[in-house]
Amino acid sequence: MIAIAVAEAVNAGKAWLDAAISAFHRCEGAFSLVIGTPDGLMGVRDPNGVRPLVIGILETEAPNTPTQYVLASETCALDIIGAEYLRDVEPGELVWITEAGLASFHWATQPQRKLCIFEMIYFARPDSIMHEESLYSYRMRIGKQLAIESPTDVDLVMGVPDSGIPAAIGFSQQSGIPYAEGLIKNRYVGRTFIQPTQSMRESGIRMKLNPLKDVLVGKRILIVDDSLVRGTTSRKIVKALREAGATEVHMRISSPPVTHPCFYGIDTDSQDQLIAATKSVEEIAQQINVDSLAYLSWEGMLLATQEDPNSFCSACFTGDYPIPVPEMVKRSKLMLEKQPASTSV
């Protein structure tokens, strides 16, 4: 939609910059964009800044060479190419990069920062910087908060690789319970929760994680994961841990229950497929076969950010969407994925 709006404005005779700003005023929703044009490069975020976008500087050895700017979704991408992080693109800001340098335009009249909190919990890489610290540090901190809120008596704390590990280490440090690696991850399998079918998700889990029996046998285990969406992954993991010899399996989740779908660019399922939307914590614990289950509180999750709690989108936990979602969009979410599977070859 945005590309079409920009093209229409250009065809109407506007310059690229004016055309883009005109198009953005016609668009609603979450977007972080990098647009290449014949005249320059632009980076833009929606007025709420739901998704991250950062600016970096790439040093050059050639004399009298203009500063080279880099745009990326998060800072870890800058590290790979040796660029230095400069700053974030602000909500409702457009940066325009040409041979003359970098110019900034605040095109939105009333920007209000609502960064997706799940970027900090899971989506962004742990080595990316947000709020002047790595997300690894934030994830350790929510693990410590989780240990304060939901302690238990076990022999070992372990994390679900890779995203649950920083929170598990934080839980271990706060509780004094030893940390151990009990699951080894196959690095060639992607994220399973976004696979479109149940059979694909379960197949991916079997290939993804393998338990270490000599670490687990005879132990009471507490396992920390970043989220529990459908229960598919958790149920399989718990079964594998018990088969490997764990005598008790307790689970702690370093985020609140996911009860609402995301309409801002993340392919989570419809609400009736989210386990916490239809079942209590006790019912979920029974379904995934754990001895106990607890989630991080919504308040604890936001407290650990050490930022203004009103500057985050946490709609997947509360149903409070900062950008209104039309009913047509709600009804059509994942409509194609719900169609019967084709029998054609």
Give the pLDDT confidence of 17-29 residue by residue, as tens digits: 999 999 999 988 9
pLDDT score recorded for residue 343: 34
Give domain status of residue 340, yes or no. no
**The pair of three-digit structure tokens given for residue 110, joined into one six-digit string:** 């009333």
The answer to whether 160 touches 225, Cβ cutoff 8 Å, is yes
Q: Residue 191: pLDDT above 60?
A: no
Q: Are residues 182 and 47 in the same domain?
A: no
Kindly report the average pLDDT of the chain as a whole number: 89
Averaged pLDDT, 242-270:
93
pLDDT score recorded for residue 199: 55
Q: Are residues 166 and 282 in the same domain?
A: yes
Between 49 and 337, the higher pLDDT residue: 49
pLDDT score recorded for residue 189: 62
d(CA 183, CA 208): 10
**The pair of three-digit structure tokens given for residue 38, joined into one six-digit string:** 């014949």
Give domain status of residue 280, yes or no. yes
pLDDT score recorded for residue 114: 98
Q: Residue 41: pLDDT above 70?
A: yes
The number of beta carbons lying within 10 Å of the beta carbon of residue 143 is 30
Which range among 37-46, 262-271, 283-292, 295-304 shows the weakest confidence by mean pLDDT? 262-271
Backbone angles phi, psi at 25, to 5 degrees: -70, -20
Q: Are residues 144 and 258 in the same domain?
A: yes
Sign of torsion, CA 164 165 166 169? positive
Count, in order, helices (H) and strands (E) of the chain.
14, 17
Give domain status of residue 338, yes or no. no
Q: How confident is the model at residue 205 (pLDDT cuts 50, 70, 90)?
A: low
d(CA 154, CA 16): 61
Q: Are residues 219 and 129 in the same domain?
A: yes
The answer to whether 76 touches 130, Cβ cutoff 8 Å, is no
The number of beta carbons lying within 10 Å of the beta carbon of residue 227 is 25
**Domain interval for residue 12:** 2-113
Q: Are residues 66 and 124 in the same domain?
A: no
Give domain status of residue 322, yes or no. yes
Q: Are residues 100 and 140 in the same domain?
A: no
Q: Residue 236 has what DSSP assignment?
A: H
The number of beta carbons lying within 10 Å of the beta carbon of residue 281 is 15
pLDDT score recorded for residue 265: 87
Q: Are residues 140 and 277 in the same domain?
A: yes
Where do runs of H (alpha helix) occur along 212-313? Answer: 213-216, 232-243, 275-278, 281-288, 298-303
Tokens 């060479």 -> residue: 65
Instruction: Decide which of 82, 113, 144 is a domain's last residue.
Output: 113
CATH number of the CATH domain containing 292: 3.40.50.2020
Tokens 């009736």 -> residue: 272
Residue closest to 182 by CA, chosen among 219, 229, 207, 233: 219
Q: Residue 344: pLDDT above 50?
A: no
d(CA 223, CA 299): 22
pLDDT score recorded for residue 345: 32
| pLDDT tens-digit readout, 292-309 | 999 999 999 999 999 999
Beta bridge partners of 225: 253
Q: Are residues 36 and 139 in the same domain?
A: no
The answer to whether 55 touches 102, Cβ cutoff 8 Å, is yes
pLDDT score recorded for residue 202: 52
Instruction: Decide which of 113, 130, 152 is a domain's last residue.
Output: 113
List, in order, residues 6 or more apart from 253 with CB less than 8 Å away. 146, 224, 225, 226, 227, 228, 293, 294, 295, 296
Averaged pLDDT, 318-326:
94
Beta bridge partners of 224: 159, 252
The number of beta carbons lying within 10 Å of the beta carbon of residue 22 is 17
Q: Are residues 215 and 84 in the same domain?
A: no
- Strand (E) or helix (H) holding 40: none
Q: How confident is the model at residue 329 (pLDDT cuts 50, 70, 90)?
A: confident
Q: Are residues 105 and 164 in the same domain?
A: no
List, in order, residues 6 or more apart from 183 with CB less than 8 Å away. 158, 160, 161, 209, 210, 211, 212, 237, 240, 241
pLDDT score recorded for residue 204: 57
Q: Residue 7: pLDDT above 70?
A: no
- Strand (E) or helix (H) holding 163: none
Which range among 38-47, 153-162, 203-212, 246-255 shows the weakest confidence by mean pLDDT? 203-212
Residues 172-189, buried b or exposed e (16+ Cβ, 10 A)? bebbebebbebbeeeeee
Give domain status of residue 79, yes or no. yes
Give domain status of residue 48, yes or no. yes
| pLDDT tens-digit readout, 58-110 | 987 777 778 899 999 999 999 999 999 999 999 999 999 999 999 999 999 89
Residue closest to 273 by CA, chosen among 231, 226, 319: 231
Q: How confident is the model at residue 200 (pLDDT cuts 50, 70, 90)?
A: low
pLDDT score recorded for residue 340: 43
Q: Are residues 97 and 13 in the same domain?
A: yes
Q: Are residues 130 and 172 in the same domain?
A: yes
How many structural domains does the chain have? 2
pLDDT score recorded for residue 164: 96
pLDDT score recorded for residue 339: 45
Instruction: Decide which of 113, 130, 145 is a domain's last residue.
Output: 113
Whole-model pTM? 0.87
Give domain status of residue 197, yes or no. yes
**The pair of three-digit structure tokens given for residue 159, joined into one six-digit string:** 């994390």
pLDDT score recorded for residue 232: 86
CATH number of the CATH domain containing 32: 3.60.20.10
Give domain status of residue 51, yes or no. yes
